[in-house]
Structure 1
Amino acid sequence: MALTNIEKEYEDFVKKNSWLLIYYKICREGQPQHLTTIEAKKPHNKHLNRYRDVSPYDHTRVKLNRIERDYINANYVNIPRANRKYILTQGPLAATMGHFWLMVWEQCCTGIIMLNRLIENKETKCHQYWPGEVGSESIYEDVQLAVTLISEQNKNYYILRKFKLQDLESMNTREILQFHYITWPDFKVPKSPTQFLEFLSDVRSSGILDSSGPPIVHCSAGIGRSGTFCLVDSTLFSMESEGVNNVDPKEILKNMRTQRMGLIQNTDQFRFSYLAIIEGVKRFDPNYKEAPIEDIYSEVDVSSTETLNIDPSCAPPLPPRGASLETRPCFGPLPPVPVDSTQDDLCSSSDSSECNSPPQSPSRFGHLKDEKEETEALFTKTSQEGPTLRVKAGTPNLRRPLQRLPTPEPEKKPKKPKWLPISIIMALGIFAIGYLYVYY
């Protein structure tokens, strides 16, 4: 069977080891200088952003109508050729849960696609914005909405929840589905495209991607995992109508990045998108036999055979910070490396036991009442156990555990003999006595 264009392109990227070059080129061309984020930088909106360096573009941002201030960290991402329109947003903060549900109501959304856990690598990535138990209700008085958890089904690698969203002003209700993917590590990719494509198939079958209201897609920052999901879905959908060889994922990604900044954060996510698209196309071919797929966790060698002429000013946005704006930054010396630290402790591995453990109900996290309280509790526990070194997800792989280098001692200057000044004084005294004796 002849290779498709995307398969040939994938093999060419692997052969030339040019993933980084292509990724930076997309980042440069998909980030026009004229795009602004003025609204996100206003003082009264800064605390509504989970990360300082992830802001919605002004020309595509979602605006709230019911409340006085219309700001929420969310963007429309429209892909006309795929007949797809998404809303990509950050994981809600404690102060923005009501705003999140108001956006769901006003945009007539019927589905939410959540691609992260509430807590990852001991950091809060998203506040629990839904009731913790089936039958319980949460009321958001600031937006006059009530949310009731109707059902919750554990699907092994994702959780399907059904909510009743009620407008307390009109008393109208809507049913909202939430697909919560719980095995996708932060800054990384799923171990295999197969499981992800099964998840995508279930999401499509529910109809939330085809409804009149755009689905809401979010992870923690709403750019990495969310961007990967939208790129794979929209590319596969375009290929179904236009043909496999008539769609270029790179062009779709460039278009997406002009609507929300930083979509797809690294080369691993970019390469996984290609693998998932290739696998997704073949799943519809009855003659296809599954073949071994390259390990997506193998490193991307930055020393390509091609010269990387990359302008630092055009580089993609840095990975979002690990702490929310609600947490005051700590300015102090780095804590010492624990004596019993291992490489696994120091390397931020996405293959943690948390990511690979059997999925459990989110109720094990408890119904989080306040994100700030949870953060303070985490730091309190840390201070009691002693200082530890934390490496954020997305940090490049460390070959060896970090070591504290010995501080070089300052160079010692040779000491002058203590007797030298005394000798000089004595010589001057003898000279003076001799002078007086001769002339007087």
Structure 2
Amino acid sequence: MSAARIVVVGTGYVGLTTGACLASLGHRVTCADVDESKVARLAAGRVDIMEPGLAELVARGLTSGNLSFVVGAREAVRDADGVFLCVPTPMGAGGAADLRAVEQVVAEIADVLPSGCALITKSTVPVGTARRIQELTGRPDLPVVSNPEFLREGTAVSDFLGPDRIVVGSDTPGAADWVANLYADLGAPAVVTDAASAELVKYAANCFLAMKLSYVNAIAELCERLGADIEPVTLGMGYDRRIGRSFLRPGPGWGGSCLPKDTSALLRIAESVRFDFELLDAAVEENIAQRDRVIAKIAGAVGGRLAAARIGLLGLAFKAGTNDLRDSPALSIASVLCAHGAEVTAYDPAVQGELPGMLVVDNAYQVAKGADVVVVLTEWSDFTRLDWAYMAELMHGDAVVDTRNLLEPRVVLDAGLSWQGIGRPRAGARVTSVS
């Protein structure tokens, strides 16, 4: 299709990626935000978000003239063909999604939008939000479209430009097709449907992934109790095309900016129509139980008493490749350890600054100094390249708890340390061959 005039409201993780990628597809994109200093940095090509390829896309967009940044959306939208709403929808009271930011933007711009301009929700919003936005505008000449994002932190640019699918929904004939055509050059399959179905797709997908992670963590616990090894178990599962290999790695629990709030929101949505979503509720409870099991492992590694134990943590971000601490399982575990009186020292290659109750250092080896136990909480590949013999010299104790099954157990054992993973034999000696 010909280049469209697009306004993206919000320059956070989703908004900035959306704006920069749409500009790279040839559309004329203006990104609007209320933070003046942030807009100034972006207009100068300075990207604060840690995301591979994003800064380069922003720079190219600025150079080509396809991408610009402004303070406030009201003036920017006056000649727009489509407006993407990419503002936060955090967990609100009772676990439901908080739509105040969406509603504020709609109220600000509704009267100045040109007739026919599509209002497009990119943020994750509850089922029924498109209908609610239509009511707020009071303008039947403005089509409202749901176009949920499926961006993973650390791979957002590649996810946007090489998507599995494009999901678009609207109750206005032709509007969803117009938005789907914005992505035509990507060659991805498009699911064009009604607004409510498109809104539900995002929740259904994320909550399925949360359940899959909770399931594999529960299977890992069974492995420990039955003397099995989670590595060959998930390997055998993953070869089944009906299951696949993704999201089959056990860990300290799932977190981040999406899964916790989306599972909570879908549970509230289900309650609103008097459906008891027991399966999803169980996945959330299992996630809490996994955190508690990890804390119990750490306590066991220091003799059962966390108070005054010196604990070194490797990793704070919710996953490798990002500096995002939102609902990080690593940070949740660290907070519990601190609450029990442990002396916690932490290192993450993408996280700097102070955090409550713990000492955040700028070197992984500082974590080991005097530690009774070292705990791997985020799967940074940097940690596999540490000199574990030197780590052993620095430590007071000899225990390593690897909640990501990241390290090669034999390397840790050869350094004179003990190793304990998730769902794996403690000695780590068994080797699974793949033919």
Q: Which has the higher contact order (CA 8 A, sep 6+)?
A: 1
Structure 1 or 2: more helix by fraction: 2
- For the aligned pair, the TM-score class normalised by the smaller chain equals under 0.3
- Under a length normalisation based on structure 1, what TM-score does the superposition of the two structures give? 0.26
- The structure that has the greater radius of gyration is 1
- Under a length normalisation based on structure 2, what TM-score does the superposition of the two structures give? 0.27
